[in-house]
Amino acid sequence: MKVLVTGGAGYVGSHLVDKLLATEHDVVVLDDFSLGKRENIQHNLSSPAFQLVEGSITEPGTVKKVMDGCELVFHLAARVGIKYIVDDPLRGILTNVVGTETVLKEAYRRGARVLFASTSEVYGRSKAVPFREDGERLLGSTSVARWSYSSAKAIDEHLALAYAREGLRVAIVRYFNSYGPRLDPVGYGSVVAKFITQALTGRPITVHSDGQQTRSFTFVDDTVEGTILAATMPAGEGQVFNLGNGREVAVLELAQMVKAITGSASPIEHVDYSAVFGPNFEDIPRRVPDVEKARRVLGFEAKVPLEKGLKVTIDWMKRTLGD
């Protein structure tokens, strides 16, 4: 099958591309390299089954061209990362809303199936933990820029489901803190990447606030497996799935694990949110997926234990930082 992966030079996208090529698909990647990296896809450039197009999801002509002959579209391209969103909310909103509408419209026009990569951010700071796909969303004021990412992705989900009513075959997945090799060590602020980089370079491991906020960390192989299942199983159509690991981990505990596995002498320091994100920042105290629906409908379960996934990621980062 010929498939399009938007954002295929990014962290999750490039792993997805590797898996799709390994399972005999022809893959077209559309990426504008605003956040993605050539080294993520370099090893595939010589493959006859791989095609790279540099361009934006916000350009209808480009989207039309790259989708030619594609039966399935994995739509991962987005402005990602709370720090980037807070720094430039307009760019985030326009990329994530206009770009997604452009991709959905073209897929609908030609009858291609779509997988849309959404986010656990859509739940905001809902108190209904673990988050169920049909649970409520709880967001702060529109004057707090961080919520624009959640809102844009939620509008994208609404759009996808509205197109589904018109006949588009689309599945939506909400990722929960995916981590693994190719995370940008200096990028948008994956907490895993940040802690490992700090630990390996001997700088203090900086934990926001008291570190009791919790997350669910999902190794990228699991993220990719769930993504492909949702995209290809008929039961996924018109549905939303949490793709995450059910284990709830406090951010301070993550810092301690990274320190222990790396054997780093870095101290763990607590910093105020406002020092990093400016005043008015609002964080999410607990973010944990209800994993039952993905298990029941897709047969998906995150398998890689955090300790094992961290070791793999740390080994990769050691090699990258050593280059």
Ligand X SMILES: NC(=O)c1ccc[n+]([C@@H]2O[C@H](COP(=O)([O-])OP(=O)(O)OC[C@H]3O[C@@H](n4cnc5c(N)ncnc54)[C@H](O)[C@@H]3O)[C@@H](O)[C@H]2O)c1
Q: Which span sits near ligand X by CB under 6 A: 20-28, 34-42, 193-201, 262-270?
A: 34-42
Spatial distance between the Cα atoms of 35 and 54, rounded to a whole number of angstroms: 12
Minimum CB distance to ligand X, residue 18 (Å):
13
Residue among 3, 78, 82, 86 that touches ligand X (CB under 6 A): 78
179 catalytic per annotation: no
DSSP bridge partners of 240: 172
192 binds ligand X (CB under 6 A): no
11 binds ligand X (CB under 6 A): yes
Pattern of binders to ligand X over 209-228, x per CB under 6 A? --------------------
Spatial distance between the Cα atoms of 116 and 297, rounded to a whole number of angstroms: 17
117 binds ligand X (CB under 6 A): yes
- DSSP, collapsed to helix, strand or coil, labels residue 139 as coil
Spatial distance between the Cα atoms of 89 and 169, rounded to a whole number of angstroms: 30
Minimum CB distance to ligand X, residue 256 (Å):
21
99 binds ligand X (CB under 6 A): yes
Pick the closer one to ligand X by CB: 179 or 277.
Answer: 179
Within residues 157-186, the interface with ligand X by CB under 6 A covers: 175, 177-178
- The number of helices, as runs of H, and strands, as runs of E, in the chain is 12, 13
CB 138 within 8 A of CB 127: yes
The residue from 84, 108, 123, 149 that is catalytic is 149
62 binds ligand X (CB under 6 A): no
Spatial distance between the Cα atoms of 193 and 186, rounded to a whole number of angstroms: 8
Residue 323, burial from CB neighbour count under 10 angstroms (0-12, 13-18, 19+): exposed
Residue among 10, 92, 181, 309 that touches ligand X (CB under 6 A): 10
- The C-alpha R_g of the chain, in whole angstroms, comes to 19
DSSP bridge partners of 54: 31
Minimum CB distance to ligand X, residue 179 (Å):
7
Q: Give the closest residue to 81 by CA, choosing from 71, 66, 91.
A: 91
Q: Give the closest residue to 276 by CA, choosing from 139, 95, 141, 81.
A: 81
Residue among 44, 52, 79, 255 that touches ligand X (CB under 6 A): 79
Minimum CB distance to ligand X, residue 55 (Å):
7
Pick the closer one to ligand X by CB: 245 or 266.
Answer: 245
Cis peptide before 130 (omega within 30 of 0): yes
Minimum CB distance to ligand X, residue 148 (Å):
13
DSSP state of 251: H
Residue among 32, 106, 157, 221 that touches ligand X (CB under 6 A): 32
Q: Which residues bind ligand X (CB under 6 A)?
A: 6-7, 9-13, 30-36, 56-58, 76-80, 95, 99, 117, 119, 175, 177-178
Catalytic residues: 149
